Chain A
Amino acid sequence: MKISEFTEAELESRLRCGALLLNLGPFVARLNSDVVSIARDIALMYADFHTSPENTFADFHVKVALDTGLRRWAKPQVRFYFDGRPSFIPLPADQAFAMLEWGLNWCVAAHSHQYLIIHAAVIEREGKAAILPAPPGSGKSTLCAGLVNRGWRLLSDELALLDMDSDLIYGMCRPVNLKNVSVDVIKQFAPAAVFTASVPDTTKGTIALMRPPVDSVQRMNQPACPAWVVLPKYTAGASPQLERHSRARTFMLIAEQSFNYDIQGSRGFDAVGRLIDQSQCFQLTYSRLDDAERVFDDLLAGRIE
C-alpha cells in the first residue's frame, strides 16, 4: 500500500503504535511517532512510497517522540530513538521531520557495512550515474535538487550506497534536504516542486525538504552504474567551468567522504579504485543551475572528452 492511500488520521494512528513500515529501497524502516507534524510531513514527502505489511522484517526501528514533562507545554522538544535507545541531543519540536530524516541517515551509515557508504548525492540518466561527493557547503544538494527536476533520476542527495560485488550504486530516493537560500533557488528553478514548511534555526540554518520526483520513487530499487564523479563548487557569479579532476585526488576525496571506508579494508580500496577507473572525474564550478544543467546534458551526450 502506498503512503498516499492512507488518510492522515490513519497515518497518525499507525505512527502512534509504531506500525508504519516504510520501504526505502534496500531497507525497510519501522516508524513510530506521537508528533502530529511528522504524519503530515510523511504524507507530503513520502506520498509515492510503498509500505510493508506489519509482519515484515524491519532493518531499522526508529521513533521520534515528544519529551514528556512540563517542557512539553512551554517549549516542546523531540528526541530520536533507535530501537528504543535515545540517540542524539533533543531538538525543538518543529524540527521533528528533519530529525527523522537525519536519524534515518545515521541508521544506514552506522549499520550497513554491506555497502561502501559515500557522503554524496547520486543522480542517473540513461543508465549512467553521476556521483556528486562534496563536503557540506559545496552545493551538492542544490545541484542534485535542480537536476532531478530536469529529467535526471534521484538516487540520493546524501548517501551513495556502493555495492562492492556488482560495483553498482543503490539509493533510497528520500526527500532532498535544502538549506537557506537554496530553498528559494529551487522553488524558482522548479516551481512545481513540493516542499515541507521551512524550519528556521536548525544547526544547518533554515532548512526545507523537497519531495522526490514520482518517477525516481517508482524506480527506487534499480541501482545505477557510475559513469562520472563530479565535484560541484558553487561560486557566486562564476561562469560554468568543467575541469578534469585528478583521479588520485578524486580517489582520496571519495575515501574521505566515505563513512565506512576504514571498515572495508582492502575491499573498500579496490572498490573505490574500480569506481574511479570506470568514471570520468571532473570539478564543476557554477553559479546558475541552468548552466549546470547544460553541462550535464553535454556530459550525457558525450560532448565532453
Chain B
Amino acid sequence: MIPRDQIVTALLAPDLLPTLSEMDWDLLIRQARRSNLLARLAHLLIQNGQIEKVPNSPRLHLFSALRMVERQDVAMRWEVDCIQNALANAGVKITLLKGAAYVMAGLPAANGRTFSDIDIIVPKKHVAEVESALMLNGWQGTHHDDYDQRYYRRWMHEIPPMRHVRRGTSIDVHHAILPETARIKVNTPALLKAVVALPGYENLYVLKPEDMLLHSATHLFHEGALDNGLRDLFDLDSLLRHFGDNPEFWSALVPRAIELGLTRPLYYAIRYTTTMLDTPVPQAVINAAEIGKPPLGIASLVDFCYLRALRPTHDSCNTPGTGLARFALYIRSHWMRMPFLLLAYHLARKAFLRPKQLPVETALTTKEG
C-alpha cells in the first residue's frame, strides 16, 4: 500500500492541521507548492476559519499563493470578457473548458486553482471563423513551421495556441476533446449539443455537469506529463463531490459516458479519486463504471503507474518505481494519441528534423519555462 502524502491528508482532513509541528509544515508547504495546491490549501483553511492557527512562517506562504490566484481569477474574468466580445458575432456557441469553466460557473473546483491559459471548444466546421475573429481582435497564431501547422490542423483536436499581442495571454481553440488520431473515438456532436448557457453572458457556454467531469477525466488520463496530476485529480474529486449532491448526476453519469464513448476515463477517474482521495461515490455507480475497466493485466499495470505518478512531483514522494511509472505513462499517452506508424513518423521528425525556432517563439518559450 502506498502511503498517503502530507498534502493529500491536509486537504482531506484540514481539522488536523493545527496539530502539525514546524517540520510537518515545512514538508507540507513544499509538497503543496510543487503540486500547485498551495492556494487551494490556503482557501480551505480560510473557509474553515483555521488559517490564523497556522504558524506565522508557513501562513505567509499560504497567503502569498492565495494572492497569486486571486489575481489570476480577476485576470481570467477579464480575459473571458475579451473573448466574449471578440466572438460575440461569430455565430457559434463558445464553450469554455476546464479552469475557465470552473471559474465562470462558480464551481468549488475553481477555489485556489492556478491556470495557464483559456481553453474553448467550438464545432469543427466553425473553427476557421472563430480563428479569424480572434485574429481580428489581436490574437496571433503560434507554431508557424509547416510541419507543426499540419500536425495541429490534420491530427490534433485543437488549432495551434493563439496568443494575444498586447496582453500575452493564450487561448487554445479546440474542436474535439481528444486528437483526431486518438484510439478512443469521442461523440463530439453529442457533447456540444448539450452545453449549458453561462448566466450573464450572451454567447458563452460550459459543458453540462456529467460532461464536465468526463472531459476532466479524459484530459487527465490521456495526459503524458503529470506535473499537475494530483491537482487534476483534486479537480475530479471536487466536481464529483459538488455535482454529487444531485442524485440525477449519479444516475446520468455512466449512461452519458457510454453515449460519448468515454467509459475508460470515467473508470479511471472513479478508481483513483475513491482510492487516493476517499471521494464519496455511490456503490452502484462504482459497479456500473466497471464497464470501462481495462482487461485485468492492464488494469493492474495502470494501477501500478497511476498510484505512483499521481503523487506530488516532490522528492519526498518518490519511491523506486516512480520514475518508471511516469515514463510508462508518458509512453502510453503517446500510444493513445495516435497510431503507431504515425507516432513513429512524428517522433522521428521531431528528433531529427527539429527546425530552428523563430526568435520570437524562443523568447516566449524561455519566458514560460
Contact = CB atoms under 8 A, between A and B. Distances in A.
A binds B: yes
Given A57-B23, A57-B57, A57-B58, A84 B314 contact: yes
Interface of B: 21-23, 25-26, 29-30, 33-34, 55, 57-58, 60-61, 63-65, 67-68, 70-71, 74, 314-315
Contacts of A114: 60, 63-64, 67
B55 A57 contact: yes
A112 interface: yes
Contacts of B55: 57
B11 to A, nearest CB: 19
Contact of A57 (B26, B63, B71, B314): B26
A231 B256 CA distance: 64
B64 A58 contact: no
18 contacts: A55-B21, A55-B23, A57-B22, A57-B23, A57-B26, A57-B29, A57-B58, A83-B30, A83-B315, A85-B34, A111-B61, A111-B64, A113-B64, A113-B65, A262-B71, A263-B67, A264-B67, A265-B71
- The size class of the interface chain A forms with chain B is 10 to 19
B70 to A, nearest CB: 8
Q: Which of B58, B60, B68, B70 has the most CB of A within 10 A?
A: B60
Given A59-B57, A111-B61, A83 B33 contact: yes
Contacts, number: 48
A265 B66 CA distance: 13
B22 to A, nearest CB: 5
Contacts of B63: 113-114
Contact of B34 (A28, A58, A83, A265): A83
B38 to A, nearest CB: 9
A125 interface: no
A59 to B, nearest CB: 6
Contacts of A111: 33, 61, 64
A128 interface: no
A58 to B, nearest CB: 6
Interface in A244-293: 262-265
A84 B22 contact: no
B314 A58 contact: no
A111 B63 CA distance: 10
Interface in A46-77: 55-59, 61
A112 B23 CA distance: 20
A57 to B, nearest CB: 5
A55 B315 contact: no
Contacts of B58: 57
A57 B70 CA distance: 26
Q: Which of B58, B61, B70 has the most CB of A within 10 A?
A: B61
Contacts of A112: 60, 64
Contacts of B25: 57
Sorted nearest first, the 9 A-B pairs with minimum C-beta distance are: A113-B64, A84-B315, A113-B67, A57-B22, A263-B71, A114-B60, A57-B57, A57-B26, A114-B64
Nearest to B316: A84
A262 B74 CA distance: 11
Given A83-B34, A113-B67, A55 B22 contact: yes
B57 A265 contact: no
A263 B55 CA distance: 24
B39 to A, nearest CB: 11
Given A55-B23, A113-B68, A114-B67, 20 more contacts: A28-B57, A55-B22, A57-B29, A57-B58, A58-B26, A59-B57, A59-B61, A61-B30, A83-B33, A83-B34, A84-B315, A111-B33, A111-B64, A113-B67, A114-B64, A263-B67, A263-B71, A264-B67, A264-B71, A265-B70
Contacts of B26: 57-58
